[in-house]
């Protein structure tokens, strides 16, 4: 969570973020009249402001209303799934649901830079017919090669 009222725009957090997940607002972001009428909310991260850093916070106002975040809702291919690991289900824009624990148990997902100990909460599901190895497969192949 970031407080845009305290941010001085130094961008140090961008340089330190191992996920490259933060961005700097170089220009005034577009606002709807409704956004401009609301007071600033650190929890909802709006209205967005020029000269500060921000990152995705998964649209908490939509989640509270029982909706998917915009990224999952608007993905026309249904490639973005969203859910809560404690509810053990993820869903996409097409209404398809997958049991989260089964994906993790099968090793069908990975987390970026997990080895840094940051305990990331975003899991990535590589396609079954991918051309490139997942990070775990890449590490396993490197370990096999180094043992030879």
Tell me the per-residue pLDDT of 21-39, one tens digit each, with 9 for 90 and over.
899 999 988 888 888 888 8
Q: 51-73, pLDDT tens digit by residue?
A: 999 988 898 889 999 999 999 99
In a domain, 10, yes or no: yes
In a domain, 21, yes or no: yes
In a domain, 9, yes or no: yes
In a domain, 31, yes or no: yes
- Structurally, the chain folds into a number of domains equal to 1
In a domain, 91, yes or no: no
Q: Is the pTM of this model over 0.85?
A: no
In a domain, 125, yes or no: no
Long-range Cβ pairs for the range 25-34 (8 Å, 24+): 25/49, 25/50, 25/51, 25/52, 25/53, 25/54, 26/50
In a domain, 118, yes or no: no
Determine the structural domain holding residue 11 and report its residue range: 1-57
What's 116's DSSP letter? Answer: G
In a domain, 44, yes or no: yes
Q: For residues 141 and 44, what is the distance between their CA atoms, to the nearest angstrom?
A: 42
């Amino acid at each position: 969570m970031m407080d845009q009222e305290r941010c001085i725009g130094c961008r140090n957090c961008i340089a330190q973020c191992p996920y490259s997940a933060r961005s700097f607002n170089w220009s005034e972001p577009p606002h709807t009249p409704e956004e401009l009428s609301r007071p600033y909310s650190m929890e909802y991260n709006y209205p967005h402001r020029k000269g500060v850093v921000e990152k995705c916070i998964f649209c908490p106002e939509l989640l509270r209303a029982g909706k998917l975040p915009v990224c999952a809702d608007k993905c026309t291919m249904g490639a973005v799934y969203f859910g809560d690991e404690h509810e053990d289900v993820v869903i996409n824009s097409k209404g398809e649901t997958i049991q989260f624990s089964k994906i993790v148990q099968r090793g069908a997902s990975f987390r970026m830079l997990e080895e840094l100990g940051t305990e990331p909460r975003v899991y990535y599901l590589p396609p079954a017919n991918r051309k490139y190895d997942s990070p775990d497969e890449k590490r396993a192949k490197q370990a096999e090669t180094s043992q030879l």
